[in-house]
Chain A
Amino acid sequence: MEFASPRHAMTWLHTWLGLIFGFVLMVCFFFGALSVFDREIDRWAIPETRFDPQPMPSFDQVLLPAYQRMQPDQAEYDRMMPLYHDPAAGPMTPRNELPVDEYWAYTTHRDPVLQIGVGFRVPHPLESVGHNHIHANTTIDPRTGDEVPNSALKIGSDWFYPLHYSLNLEWNSVGYYIVGLAAFFMLVALVSGIWMHRKLFRELFTFRPWKSRLRSILDLHNLTGVVALPFHFFFALTGLIIFASTFYMPVSDTLLKPLHEQQEALEASQNGLPHERSGIPAPLASVDAMVLEAKRLWAERGMAGEVGFLMVSHVGDANSFVSIYRAGSDRVALVGEAIHFRGSDGSLLLQELDHPAVESANEFLTGLHLQHFEHWSLRWLYLFGGLLGCACIATGFLFFIEKRKFQHAREGQFGSRLVEACALACVTGLLLATLAMLVANRLLPEGDQRADWQKWIFCGAWLASLLHGFVRANTHNAARASAAWYEQVWLISILAALAVLTNAITTGDHLLRTLLLEPYMAVAGVDLVLLVCALGATLTARYLQRRHEQACQRVLPSQPASALLDGGAA
Chain B
Amino acid sequence: MNRLWYLTRDSISPLLAALMGSYLLAWGVTTLGISALVASGVSFHSAETGLLLLAFPVCLAGFLWAFASRHRYRLSLMLAAVGSLMTAAGWQLQALILP
Which residues of A are interface residues toward B (Cβ below 8 A)?
1-3, 6, 9-10, 13, 16-17, 184, 187-188, 191-192, 237, 240-241, 244-245, 249, 251-252, 255-256, 258-260, 262-264, 267, 356, 358-359, 361-362, 365
For A241, what are the chain B residues with a Cβ–Cβ distance below 8 Å? 52-53, 56
B55 touches A267 (CB 8 A): no
CB proximity of A116 to chain B, nearest CB, Å: 26
Q: Assuming the A-B contacts A10-B68, A259-B35, A263-B38, are A362 and B43 also in contact, with contact meaning beta carbons closer than 8 angstroms in the complex?
A: no
A259 touches B53 (CB 8 A): no
B14 touches A244 (CB 8 A): no
A267 to B45, CA, bound (A): 10
Q: Assuming the A-B contacts A10-B68, A358-B46, A362-B53, are A249 and B11 also in contact, with contact meaning beta carbons closer than 8 angstroms in the complex?
A: no
A462 to B60, CA, bound (A): 33
Q: Assuming the A-B contacts A13-B67, A255-B90, A256-B35, are A1 and B60 also in contact, with contact meaning beta carbons closer than 8 angstroms in the complex?
A: no
B76 interface hit (Cβ, 8 Å)? no
A263 to B35, CA, bound (A): 11
Mask: chain B, 20-59; 1 = CB below 8 Å from A; 0 = not: 0000001100110011001000011110111111011101
CB proximity of B68 to chain A, nearest CB, Å: 4
In the complex, besides A237-B57, A256-B31, A365-B53, 8 extra interface pairs with C-beta distance below 8 angstroms are: A1-B10, A10-B64, A252-B34, A256-B91, A259-B98, A262-B97, A267-B44, A359-B45
A251 touches B34 (CB 8 A): yes
For B99, what are the chain A residues with a Cβ–Cβ distance below 8 Å? 262
Chain B interface residue count, Cβ-Cβ cutoff 8 angstroms: 39
CB proximity of A145 to chain B, nearest CB, Å: 35
- What are 18 A-to-B residue pairs whose CB atoms are below 8 Å? A9-B67, A188-B64, A191-B60, A249-B27, A249-B52, A251-B51, A255-B90, A255-B91, A256-B31, A256-B90, A259-B94, A259-B97, A260-B44, A262-B99, A263-B38, A359-B46, A362-B53, A365-B53
A361 to B51, CA, bound (A): 12
Q: Assuming the A-B contacts A1-B14, A244-B56, are A192 and B64 also in contact, with contact meaning beta carbons closer than 8 angstroms in the complex?
A: yes
A187 to B64, CA, bound (A): 10
For B91, what are the chain A residues with a Cβ–Cβ distance below 8 Å? 255-256
For A2, what are the chain B residues with a Cβ–Cβ distance below 8 Å? 70
B43 touches A267 (CB 8 A): yes
Mask: chain B, 61-97; 1 = CB below 8 Å from A; 0 = not: 0011001111000000000000000010011001001
Chief secondary structure at chain B's binding surface: helix
A249 touches B55 (CB 8 A): yes
Q: Which residue of A lies closest to B61 (CB)?
A: A191
CB proximity of A262 to chain B, nearest CB, Å: 6
Chief secondary structure at chain A's binding surface: helix
A262 touches B98 (CB 8 A): yes
CB proximity of B89 to chain A, nearest CB, Å: 12
Closest 7 pairs (CB-CB, A-B)? A263-B44, A6-B68, A1-B10, A358-B50, A244-B52, A9-B68, A356-B46
A188 to B55, CA, bound (A): 15
A256 to B56, CA, bound (A): 19
For B45, what are the chain A residues with a Cβ–Cβ distance below 8 Å? 263, 267, 359
Q: Which residue of B lies closest to A362 (CB)?
A: B49
For B55, what are the chain A residues with a Cβ–Cβ distance below 8 Å? 244, 249
For B30, what are the chain A residues with a Cβ–Cβ distance below 8 Å? 249, 251
A251 to B55, CA, bound (A): 11
For B70, what are the chain A residues with a Cβ–Cβ distance below 8 Å? 2
Q: Assuming the A-B contacts A255-B91, A356-B46, are A188 and B53 also in contact, with contact meaning beta carbons closer than 8 angstroms in the complex?
A: no
B46 touches A184 (CB 8 A): no
For A187, what are the chain B residues with a Cβ–Cβ distance below 8 Å? 56, 60
B31 touches A358 (CB 8 A): no
For A264, what are the chain B residues with a Cβ–Cβ distance below 8 Å? 44
Partner of B34, one of A1, A188, A256, A258: A256
A259 touches B26 (CB 8 A): no
CB proximity of B94 to chain A, nearest CB, Å: 5
CB proximity of A16 to chain B, nearest CB, Å: 7
A365 to B54, CA, bound (A): 13
For A267, what are the chain B residues with a Cβ–Cβ distance below 8 Å? 43-45
CB proximity of B37 to chain A, nearest CB, Å: 10
A244 to B64, CA, bound (A): 20
A102 to B94, CA, bound (A): 31
For B27, what are the chain A residues with a Cβ–Cβ distance below 8 Å? 249, 251
B43 touches A356 (CB 8 A): yes
Q: Assuming the A-B contacts A191-B60, A362-B53, are A255 and B87 also in contact, with contact meaning beta carbons closer than 8 angstroms in the complex?
A: yes
B43 touches A251 (CB 8 A): no
CB proximity of A271 to chain B, nearest CB, Å: 10
CB proximity of A189 to chain B, nearest CB, Å: 11
Q: Which residue of A lies closest to B94 (CB)?
A: A259
A187 to B61, CA, bound (A): 10
Q: Which residue of A lies closest to B44 (CB)?
A: A263
Q: Assuming the A-B contacts A244-B56, A249-B55, A252-B34, are A258 and B46 also in contact, with contact meaning beta carbons closer than 8 angstroms in the complex?
A: no
B94 touches A256 (CB 8 A): yes
Q: Which residue of A lies closest to B87 (CB)?
A: A255
A255 to B59, CA, bound (A): 19
A1 touches B11 (CB 8 A): yes
Most buried by A among B31, B55, B68, B69: B68
Q: Which residue of B lies closest to A358 (CB)?
A: B50
A191 touches B52 (CB 8 A): no
